[in-house]
Structure 1
Amino acid sequence: MPEREKENKLSSNSMLFFTQTNARLPQSEDKAGFGIRISLELGVQLFYLPNDGKPGVLNFLAFDYQTVVDQGKNLHRLAVKFENTGEINKDGYVRFELTNKETGEEIKIKPVPIAIMPKDFQWVYYTMEKELLPGEYLGVAILDAGENYNLKVAERDIHVEK
């Protein structure tokens, strides 16, 4: 059993599957038709979160920047690693902002939804759709798990080359 699962004995996560079974068709002497049957399987993820679970906090562990080349274009990728120290699962958003230190231009990026299990960590990646002008930028990542939790902020100086 992984170490982080041993630590958290309160909450649990499982899957419940429902499978459709088709009634058997009577054998007929008429063999016309394609004989296609369609079945459906549905999976539901179940979370058990007792009331006495400690909420904990979300913390940033790392903030990374990389240039990725795709079809001859330099794409800029931001990545953050964060952890959930609590005994209940959390969801929320990671918001990224970039500010050009020379021009003051702000680039706001659409929030990335997150969901994290208790006592776990996770990486969130965001690849920007447009190229950044060369220069110095201040990258800011904001971790927002809702009104019951404090916002967490991480900053990183980013140097973009030609």
Structure 2
Amino acid sequence: MRTFFLFLVTILSSFLSTAQTGVSVSPPRLYFESNAGQSNRQKIMVTNVSAAHTMDLAVSLGDWQYNELGENVMYPADSLATSCASWVTINKKDSYFSLKPGESKEIEVTITVPNTFTGEVPVHTGMLYVTQMNPIDDVDNKGANIKVSVRSGIKLFHRTSQPKNRKLEIENILFDKKRNKIELLFKNNGNIWADGIVYPELLNTLTGKKTVLDHIVFYSMPNDVRKMYIDLPENLEKAKYTAAILMDYGDENTIEMGELSFTNE
């Protein structure tokens, strides 16, 4: 008797595949802008990239948010105060469908803001899942029989038409000697999602030597409080340092900066 294990693999990007099955969904994010009582429509393209298998696919909704480390956390639909899942509609014929190998299908996603919406929360989010309903037989790297089913998640972003206010603020910078890291704490105090890059540098105050550390890409939503760990070189010379942190988040007129003085003993 053969034993099978079912693996449901979820991905938050435009493409996922295994040796035998795969689905491409583009784009991986949809952005909507509308006010109370208004509807806004966007389209996604779903493609079966498998060479041999027909895929039965179902569309469903959920919620998501970033945790303090910027990782995606998933929730059932309408779990969060910022959810727009209940505003989303999909044509009935697009909620469950089959795609032959290489076949594609365009799906229209509509967000309709309730007439009662006050706009107190200017940004809402949701997740649209495209899930394979007919698992495919496969074998893992240990030779065990498995059934693989894939699920692709498309992030939904909605905002009102009020003027954008991107505002990130560094709240603290700490030196974690035990972990050999710099801990950066910042908050999104704006009314719009803010994506950007952190550029960290070290200055040896004794020798004047500058060390440019790897930049870090981040994503944030309004009111997010974020904790970011910046790795220091393993063999960092014992000395006094000034760490300079520059945050570029797409605002042409504003760049957030912060400094930390510490001693590496």
Question: Is the alpha carbon distance of 1:56 and 1:4 closer, same or farther for their aligned partners in structure 2, counting shifts above 3 Å?
Answer: farther
- Residue 115 of structure 1 and its aligned partner are, at CA, apart by 0.4
Q: Which amino acid aligns with 2:239?
A: G
Count of residue pairs brought into register by the alignment: 144
Question: Is the alpha carbon distance of 1:120 and 1:36 closer, same or farther for their aligned partners in structure 2, counting shifts above 3 Å?
Answer: closer
Residue in 1 that maps onto 2:177: 67
Quote the RMSD (CA, aligned, Å).
2.8
Q: Identity rate of aligned residues, in percent? A: 24
Question: Is the alpha carbon distance of 1:19 and 1:44 closer, same or farther for their aligned partners in structure 2, counting shifts above 3 Å?
Answer: same
Which structure's CA Rg is the greater one? 1
In structure 1, list runs of 5 or more residues that go unmatched: 24-34, 69-74
Residue in 1 that maps onto 2:98: none
Within 5 Å, give how 1:80-119 maps onto structure 2. Answer: 80-119=184-223
Match of residue 13, structure 1, among 122, 125, 150: 125
Which segment is superposed worse, 109-118 or 125-134?
125-134
Q: Deviations over 1:5-32 (max 9, x none)?
A: 9x95121111111112239xxxxxxxxx
Q: Deviations over 1:66-104 (max 9, x none)?
A: 123xxxxxx620111111111110100111110001100
Residue in 1 that maps onto 2:153: 43
Normalization by structure 1: what TM-score? 0.77
Normalization by structure 2: what TM-score? 0.49
Q: Deviations over 1:100-125 (max 9, x none)?
A: 01100000011100100012210111
- Residue 149 of structure 1 and its aligned partner are, at CA, apart by 4.4
Residue in 2 that maps onto 1:148: 252
Q: Secondary structure at the match of 1:86?
A: coil
CA contact (8 A) 1:81 1:121 kept: yes
In structure 2, list runs of 5 or more residues that go unmatched: 1-78, 84-118, 136-144
Residue in 1 that maps onto 2:30: none
Q: Deviations over 1:128-161 (max 9, x none)?
A: 2422111111111111112434111111111110
Which segment is superposed worse, 123-132 or 101-110?
123-132
Higher fraction of strand: 2
